[in-house]
Structure 1
Amino acid sequence: MPPVPKQNPARRNKTATRATLTRVHNVKMPKLPERLHRSEDGVEVTVEWHEMTLAWWADIWASPMAPEFEKADSHGLYLLAVLVDDFWRNPSTALAAEIRLQRQGFGLTPIDRRRLQWEIERVDEAQDSGARRRAARKEQAPKEPKPDPRDLLKLAT
């Protein structure tokens, strides 16, 4: 009989951030602050956010991750928005690397969500695919059984 595994409640392979995220939520998208830019002569001017940054911002707050963000997280997301905006205005590998590094903590990519143990609820998809599989099984006609090759051996004896 194999040994029984030890039951140690202190040892679990779960993180404190583990969560199942739902696609439907009522989190309101915060408005991006004014985008200030220092001109070459040192004067600060207000510039419009790049359209790709605005789309990115809307996608984040419409995503299943939005309910996980605390109010304190918005400051980090604002800083990330500035980096994203700078990237769309003047792309560089240095900016891309910094964006990749900064977005990790917010679960914005599949690998980040996996590290945080965040799963996006897929109830409808699972139910639909299960119903399709069951229907396909019912539609298949029963097959005639193949002859057993061992029957040939019985004839030889």
Structure 2
Amino acid sequence: MPALPKHNPARRNKTATRATLTREHDVKMPPLPERVIGTEDGPEVTDWREQTLAWWADIWASPMAPEFEISDIHGLYLLAILVDDFWRNPSTALAAEIRLQRQAFGLTPIDRRRLQWEIERVDEAQDNGARRRATRKEPQPEKEPRPDPRAVLKLAT
């Protein structure tokens, strides 16, 4: 069977989730809902832990924030509850569940790799270029040219 033409390959190796994420964005951080925990006396409204609030702010300040759809907020709320529960009473079971749930949101480098999300590195490249230009050595004057070693050869007649 003949191969498909190169301009129309059967497998394009493209991923629907591929994106280049920018550090600058204008996504507003949504507020966390009321935190309700179960106690012996029934449900009780309480404050979110400081670690959870910092985690929530970090997520919405991150380059991944523009990728979140409105429907993702519910999963992020559930993840926030897990994170808050972990900081109240750490356990390996909660840590494992947090690890599983955060994969869908690209919150770790390996998750971003799996989703093929790349964070734009323009600033880093510009900084490195400026640093190289600043440390570039002045060109040295050329040394006197050496004589051509082939000049000693004579044509045999």
Under a length normalisation based on structure 1, what TM-score does the superposition of the two structures give? 0.81
CA offset at residue 40 of structure 1?
A: 1.4
Q: Provide the rounded CA distance (Å) in 1 between the counterparts of 2:89 and 2:142.
A: 64
CA distance in 2, matches of 1:20, 1:131: 23
* Alignment-derived partner of residue 73 in structure 1: 72
Segment of structure 1 superposing worse, 29-38 or 126-135:
126-135
The alignment partner of 2:137 has SS state of helix
Q: In terms of mean alpha carbon deviation, does 129-138 or 116-125 score higher? A: 129-138
Matches within 5 A, 1:138-153: 138-139=137-138, 141=140
Identity %: 79
Q: How does 1:31-42 map to 2 (within 5 A)?
A: 31-41=31-41
User: How far apart, CA to CA, are the structure 2 residues paired with 1:104 and 1:141?
Assistant: 54
127-136 or 68-77, larger mean C-alpha shift:
127-136
CA RMSD in angstroms, aligned pairs only: 2.4
Distance 1:142 1:78 in 2: 66
Determine the structure 2 residue equivalent to 1:115: 114
The answer to whether the aligner puts 1:124 opposite 2:144 as a matched pair is no
Q: Which amino acid aligns with 1:66?
A: A
Q: 1:96 to 1:142 in 2, by over 3 A?
A: farther
Deviations 1:35-66 (A, max 9, x none): 1111113x111011011000000000011100
Aligned to 1:103: 102
2-structure distance, mates of 1:91, 1:142: 66
- Please list every run of 5 or more consecutive structure 2 residues that lacks an aligned counterpart in the other structure: 150-157
Structure-to-structure mapping, 1:10-89, within 5 angstroms: 10-41=10-41, 43-89=42-88
**What TM-score results when the alignment is normalised by the length of structure 2?**
0.81
| Alpha-carbon offset, residue 7 of structure 1 | 4.0
Give how far 1:85 is off. 0.2
**1:75 is aligned with what amino acid?**
H
Aligned residue for 1:67, secondary structure, equals helix
Match of 1:94, as an amino acid? A
SS of equivalent residue, structure 1 residue 119? strand
Larger radius of gyration: 2
Cα distance change, pair 84–23 in 1 and its aligned pair in 2 (3 A): same
Q: CA deviation at 1:143?
A: 8.7
